[in-house]
Structure 1
Amino acid sequence: MPAVAVAAGLGVAGSVYSAHQGNKAADRAADAQTAAAQMGVEENRRQFDFIQELMKPYVDSGKTALNQQMGMLGLNGAAAQQQAIGALQNSPFFQAQLNQGTNAILQNASATGGLRGGNTQAALAQFAPQLLQQTYQNQLSNLGGLSSMGLGAATGTGNAAQNTAAQNSELFGNMGQAQAGAYLARAQNNQDMIGSLAGAAGRLDFANLGKYLGVDF
């Protein structure tokens, strides 16, 4: 067999093998990059789920407090406002304060001999509404603190969600770049192989021409 034909055949085999190995290496590199990026995405999601679960009690408390605030202020309707005020009046805390204050007024009146006096009756009549007003304002303030805490927790969860989305978007982009790089590498490898095959084919034709001429190139 002419030396040129042997060399061309070896060149073809070498080009095909080289392209095949290059394609495998490109695929393995892309798969490794994609797997690493996917691990990052899953870890980001795990961390966000953890933060969301951590913040959930505060967010839920804030929602409940805000709804109660709206009820006390009449923003949920008159019936809801009346129900909220009635619940406040009947609460153990308010009743305890009312009983203690009433007893203090009566004890003071008894000690000063004015138990049946007009001042005592006026004090008793004024005490309950004043206590309710004070308790109402304190309750609104306490609920405001809870709803603000819930807003902060919700904002923190939202920020965590945005950060997770941004990081995952970058990781998804890395996956796309890895796959695109593999496709480009495969294309280049195949292009180089085609070029080598074309060169080998030319040498084979040249060898056949020498055969016909009786010359061994």
Structure 2
Amino acid sequence: MSGIATAVVVGSVATGYMGSKASSKASSKAAAAQTEANELSIAEQKRQFDEVQKLLKPYVDAGTGGLTGQQDLLGINGTAAQQAAINNINNSSEMQTYLQQGENAILQNASATGGLRGGNTQAALAQFRPQLLNQLINQRYQNLAGMTALGQNAAAGTGNAGMQTANNISNLLQSSGSAQAANYINQGNAQANMWKGVNSAISNVGGMYMESKLF
């Protein structure tokens, strides 16, 4: 009877061990596959975000330049930067073109009305240049404001893409962690079930042995 009991226990241990090993191996493979898939997805998420940054960078840079230009005109970056910005407009080809056209129009009008040498003509010529410069400064500021808004929107788009990427990666990392945790739990359960089966086999053999003694 003891030989049969030993064989039963050994068989139970062997069967339980093989079952536990197979279950643990399957659980490990599943966790590894899930982790690998998540790592590939994380790499793709990062690649896509890098591409978004590259696409939006020119607009972000343009917006930064626009904001700097506005600050220069307002004197925020110092009087030297403000004067340089105004001089840039005053000496621009745009300013010279409009100035020449405007002055010619004033002179032609004065000539047609016989007031070429009059005080009104000289006053008009004296006032025209600063008025034109002020108009062009305001126009330049508005143009820069458009660039600033463009850059702001691009920066916001980059930020939103970054937040979405971070959330996606966080979820994937949590998924990998859950897969690994489930793997460890499954391995523990497999081992527990193995020893439970061994104990059950020993108990059954013990019962059989007691019955044989009684009868």
| Residue in structure 2 matched with residue 189 of structure 1 by the alignment | 190
**What is the aligned length?**
211
| Residue in structure 1 matched with residue 115 of structure 2 by the alignment | 114
Q: Percent identity?
A: 44
Offset of 1:65 from its aligned partner?
Answer: 0.5
AA of the residue aligned to 2:185: L
Offset of 1:178 from its aligned partner?
Answer: 0.3
For residues 57 and 162 of structure 1, what CA distance do their matches in structure 2 show? 20
- 1:128-207 → structure 2 map (5 Å cutoff): 128-200=129-201
TM-score, normalised to structure 2, is 0.89
Q: Unaligned regions of 5+ residues in structure 2, if any?
A: none
Offset of 1:193 from its aligned partner?
Answer: 1.9
- 1:77-96 → structure 2 map (5 Å cutoff): 77-96=78-97
Write out per-residue CA displacement over residues 6-28 of structure 1, whole angstroms, 9 at most, x where no aligned residue: 22222211111111111110000
For residues 52 and 83 of structure 1, what CA distance do their matches in structure 2 show? 32
- Helix, strand or coil: the match of 1:104? helix
Write out per-residue CA displacement over residues 65-95 of structure 1, whole angstroms, 9 at most, x where no aligned residue: 0001001001111111111101111112111
AA of the residue aligned to 1:63: T
| Residue in structure 1 matched with residue 29 of structure 2 by the alignment | 28
For residues 34 and 46 of structure 2, what CA distance do their matches in structure 1 show? 19
- 1:28-107 → structure 2 map (5 Å cutoff): 28-107=29-108
Offset of 1:182 from its aligned partner?
Answer: 0.3
AA of the residue aligned to 1:10: G
- Helix, strand or coil: the match of 2:115? coil
For residues 201 and 90 of structure 1, what CA distance do their matches in structure 2 show? 102
Offset of 1:159 from its aligned partner?
Answer: 1.0
For residues 199 and 66 of structure 2, what CA distance do their matches in structure 1 show? 78
- Helix, strand or coil: the match of 2:117? coil
Offset of 1:112 from its aligned partner?
Answer: 3.3
TM-score, normalised to structure 1, is 0.88
Farther-moved stretch of structure 1 (135-144 vs 97-106): 97-106
RMSD of aligned alpha carbons? 2.2
For residues 120 and 102 of structure 1, what CA distance do their matches in structure 2 show? 10
